[in-house]
Amino acid sequence: MDKKLLRYLILGVIFTFLGGTLLHFTYEWSGNNFWVGLFSPVNESSWEHMKLLFFPMLLYHLVSCILFRRTPSAPDESILTYLRNNYPCICLGNALGILIGTISIPVFFYTYSGILGTHFLFLDIAIFLCSAILGFACTYWTAQKCQVRKYAGLIYSALALLALCFFVFTVFPPDLGIFTSVS
C-alpha cells in the first residue's frame, strides 16, 4: 500500500474519531446552543449520533480538497501534491466514504442491539470507530479504482441532502425510531 495515502487515511480516521468524540459533548458544553446543536448530537438517538462521524469527516474532506487544489506542484512533491497527482478521485472517495461511514452507524447499531436486545456503550464506541475506518477504506478503494467518477454528481448531491437532513431533522425530528433517544 502507498505509504503517503495510508498516512492520509490514518490521519483522517484519527481526526474523525477525536473530532466526533469532542462533538459528542459540545452541545451540552455550549449550554444547548441552537447553532451548535445543528452539528452536535442534541439527544442520544442514533440519528443524532451519526453527526459524530459526518461532520468531522466532512471537515476533513473539505479542508483536504481545498488544500489539494491550492497546493502548487513542486519538485519535492509534498504529500498533498503527491495525493492530488496520483489519486485524482480522492476527494470523490472522501465524499462516498462519508456517506458509507455515516450510514453504517445505524446499520451496525440496530443489527447488534436487535440481536442482543440491548446496547452497550463499548460496542457503540466500537461501531463509531469501525464506521470511520470503513468510511476511509471506501476513500482508499475509490481513490485506487476511480470507477465511481460517473456518479460524482449523485454522490455530492446525496452528501448535501444528508447535511440538509441533519439540520432539518435536528429541529423537526420525525416520529420514527431512529430519531428516538436510546438511553
The three-class DSSP label of residue 1 is coil
Q: Match 468531522 to its residue by C-alpha cell.
A: 56
pLDDT digits (tens, 9 = 90+) for 128-171: 999 999 999 999 999 888 889 999 999 999 999 999 999 999 99
Q: How far apart are CA 72 and CA 165, in angstroms?
A: 36
The three-class DSSP label of residue 9 is helix
- Looking at the predicted structure, is the pLDDT value of residue 71 above 80? no
Contact 84, 39 (CB under 8 A): no
Q: How far apart are CA 40 and CA 58, in angstroms?
A: 13
Q: Which residues of 59-76 are buried (b: 16+ CB within 10 A; e: fewer)?
A: ebbeebbeebeeeeeeee
Q: The pTM is what?
A: 0.92
pLDDT digits (tens, 9 = 90+) for 79-130: 777 888 888 899 999 999 999 999 999 999 999 999 999 999 999 999 999 9
Contact 132, 53 (CB under 8 A): yes
pLDDT digits (tens, 9 = 90+) for 14-23: 999 999 999 9
Q: Which residues pair with 45 in a beta bridge?
A: 181
pLDDT digits (tens, 9 = 90+) for 50-65: 999 999 999 999 999 8
Q: Where are the domains of the chain?
A: 3-172
Q: How many CB atoms lie within 10 A of CB 118?
A: 8
